[in-house]
Amino acid sequence: MPPSVPTSFVPHPASPEPQKSSVDLSSVLVFLAYLIFVLVFVSAIGVFFYGRILAGEQSSKDASLAKVESAINPTTIDSFVRLRDRIASSKTLLADHIAFSNFFSLLGTIMPTTVRFTSLSLSINNDGTINVDGSGIAKNFNSLAFASIAFSNDGRIKNAIFSNIAVNPKDGSVSFNLSSTLDQKTVAFSP
């Protein structure tokens, strides 16, 4: 018999619910939670074993340190302590040491050859300032003026006051007194 083809049909009513997607969101969250749990568990095991490794290394290093400490000679330690103390003392002494050789070199370079000192006194006050007092003779007044200008231009000899200036009528030489202060760096020791 030939197949029968219906002449009419009734369509099924459309379902009011939309079709569900094939991926379920709750199953993805559960998978992520398990994955995080596994990662945390593996990390905890790694930290535990790493701590054991570090503890083993520390105990071996402690043992080697104790072995080295027992091999140290106490007289060697005492000699090193004495040496350290001597070096510290020498640094303190050198830091406070005053060397006037720099001052005398300075005088030799900035003083004109026509001016000389007959007496020179250096003193250190309680506050650390260094005073220079002296008397001398200059060939003429111009030489003394040049010395004064040299002091003021250099700046290491400060507040230079020339007083009791007297001209010798026989040869035109000028006698004077000098009072000044020095810069601390001028007399500081430098190797």
**Does the pLDDT of residue 143 top 80, yes or no?**
yes
d(CA 18, CA 71): 85
d(CA 189, CA 101): 9
Q: How large a percentage of the chain has pLDDT more than 70?
A: 87
- The confidence score (pLDDT) of residue 53 equals 94
List helix spans (H) across 13-140. Answer: 25-71, 74-96, 101-110
**Does the pLDDT of residue 20 top 60, yes or no?**
no
Do residues 144 and 161 make contact, with C-beta atoms less than 8 angstroms apart?
no
- The confidence score (pLDDT) of residue 190 equals 62
For residues 58 and 157, the model is more confident at 58
Q: What is the DSSP letter of 156?
A: S
- The confidence score (pLDDT) of residue 38 equals 95
- The confidence score (pLDDT) of residue 191 equals 58
Q: Hey, which of 21-35, 37-51, 89-103 has the most confident mean pLDDT?
A: 37-51
d(CA 72, CA 82): 16
Tens-place pLDDT, residues 58-104: 999 999 999 888 888 888 889 999 999 999 998 888 777 777 777 88
For residues 17 and 180, the model is more confident at 180
Its sign, for the CA torsion 108, 164, 182, 144, is: negative
d(CA 123, CA 131): 5
- The confidence score (pLDDT) of residue 146 equals 87
96-117 b/e with 16+ CB inside 10 Å = b? eeeeeebbeebbeebbbeebee
CA distances from 78 to 81, 111, 134 (A): 5, 52, 51
- The confidence score (pLDDT) of residue 54 equals 94
**Does the pLDDT of residue 56 top 90, yes or no?**
yes
Apex 84 CA angle, 83 and 87, nearest 5 = 85
In which residue are the tokens 């350290």 written?
84
Q: Which domains does the chain have, with CATH numbers?
A: 101-187 (3.30.70.2830)
Residue 27 identity: S
d(CA 11, CA 14): 9
Apex 55 CA angle, 50 and 56, nearest 5 = 100
- The confidence score (pLDDT) of residue 172 equals 84
Split at pLDDT 50, 70, 90, the class of 55 is very high
d(CA 189, CA 191): 7
Note the pTM of the prediction, 2 decimals.
0.49
Mean pLDDT of 112-123: 88
Q: How large a percentage of the chain has pLDDT more than 90?
A: 25
- The confidence score (pLDDT) of residue 2 equals 59
